[in-house]
C-alpha cells in the first residue's frame, strides 16, 4: 500500500509540475509562419514558403491544445506535393494534439501528435504520382516563458533529419517523424521552422 501511495504521489507531483498556459478569452488562436525546411536522412527534401492554421487551447490553465495547419508553397526541383482537394503545392496536417512539457534548462517544449492514428498530414500526392505520407510526431520549443503575451512561438530545429528535441524531461518516449513513399521507401523526416500562435482574444502567460 505504501509503495502504491508513493507512486501515486509521484505521478501527481509530475502532473503538477507540467508547464501551463493561463489565459483570458476563449482560447482560440491562429497560426502563421514562414519557411519550412524539410530534410530526410539522404539529404534535403523540399522547402515550403509559409503556413496558416487555427486551434484552441485546453481550458485555462492549459497544458494541451488542438490545431491544424496548411503548409503552402511546398516544392523541390521537379515536383510539388499536394494534399487532395487543395491548391497545388499546399499540404494540410491532420487534426493535431499539442502537449506542453519541460525540456530542461528552463525550456518549455511542445509536442505535436495526430489526434487519431499516426498520419501527420492528410493524404498527399506528388507530381510524380507517388503518394507521400508523413507519420509520427514533432517536438519543438515554446516561447516566451513567464511573460504576459498574446502570442507564442513554436520553434522546430533539426539536423540530418533528426529534431533537436525528441522527448520531454524525465520521459523515455522518443518522438519523431517519418516520410513514407511507394514500395519500401521510409526515412526519418526533420523539419525546421518557426510558427506563431496568436490568441484571438485576450492574452496569456506560459508558466514553466
| Residue appearing with cell numbers 482560440 | 28
Q: Does 3 fall in a domain? A: no
| Residue appearing with cell numbers 534535403 | 44
List the alpha helices (DSSP H) in the chain: 2-16
Q: Does 15 fall in a domain? A: no
Q: How many domains does the chain have?
A: 1
Poorest-confidence range of 110-114, 176-180, 181-185? 181-185
pTM of the model: 0.88
Look up the domain containing 126 and give its range.
Answer: 27-207
Q: Does 129 fall in a domain? A: yes
State pLDDT tens for residues 182-200.
667 788 999 999 999 999 9
State pLDDT tens for residues 58-99.
999 999 999 999 999 988 777 888 898 999 999 999 999 999
Q: Is 125 helix (H, G, I), strand (E, B) or coil?
A: strand
| CA atoms within 13 A of residue 53's CA, in its CB half-sphere | 26
Q: Does 125 fall in a domain? A: yes
Poorest-confidence range of 16-20, 34-38, 120-124? 16-20
Separation of alpha carbons 92 and 183, rounded Å: 23
Q: Does 189 fall in a domain? A: yes
Amino acid at each position: 500500500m505504501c509503495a502504491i501511495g508513493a507512486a501515486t504521489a509521484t505521478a501527481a507531483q509530475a502532473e503538477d509540475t507540467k508547464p501551463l498556459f493561463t489565459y483570458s478569452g476563449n482560447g482560440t488562436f491562429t497560426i502563421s509562419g514562414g519557411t519550412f525546411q524539410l530534410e530526410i536522412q539522404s539529404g534535403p527534401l523540399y522547402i515550403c514558403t509559409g503556413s496558416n492554421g487555427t486551434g484552441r487551447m485546453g481550458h485555462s490553465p492549459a497544458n494541451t491544445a488542438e490545431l491544424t495547419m496548411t503548409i503552402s508553397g511546398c516544392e523541390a526541383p521537379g515536383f510539388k506535393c499536394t494534399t487532395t482537394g487543395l491548391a497545388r503545392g499546399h499540404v494540410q496536417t491532420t487534426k493535431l494534439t499539442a502537449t506542453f512539457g519541460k525540456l530542461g534548462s528552463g525550456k518549455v517544449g511542445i509536442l505535436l501528435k495526430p489526434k487519431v492514428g499516426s498520419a501527420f498530414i492528410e493524404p498527399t500526392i506528388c507530381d510524380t504520382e507517388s503518394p507521400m505520407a508523413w507519420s509520427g510526431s514533432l517536438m519543438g520549443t515554446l516561447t516566451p516563458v513567464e511573460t504576459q503575451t498574446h502570442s507564442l512561438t513554436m520553434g522546430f530545429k533539426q539536423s540530418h533529419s533528426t529534431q533537436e528535441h525528441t522527448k520531454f524531461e524525465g520521459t523515455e518516449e522518443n518522438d519523431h517523424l517519418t516520410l513514407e513513399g511507394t514500395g519500401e521507401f521510409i526515412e526519418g523526416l526533420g523539419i525546421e521552422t518557426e510558427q506563431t500562435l496568436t490568441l484571438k482574444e485576450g492574452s496569456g502567460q506560459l508558466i514553466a
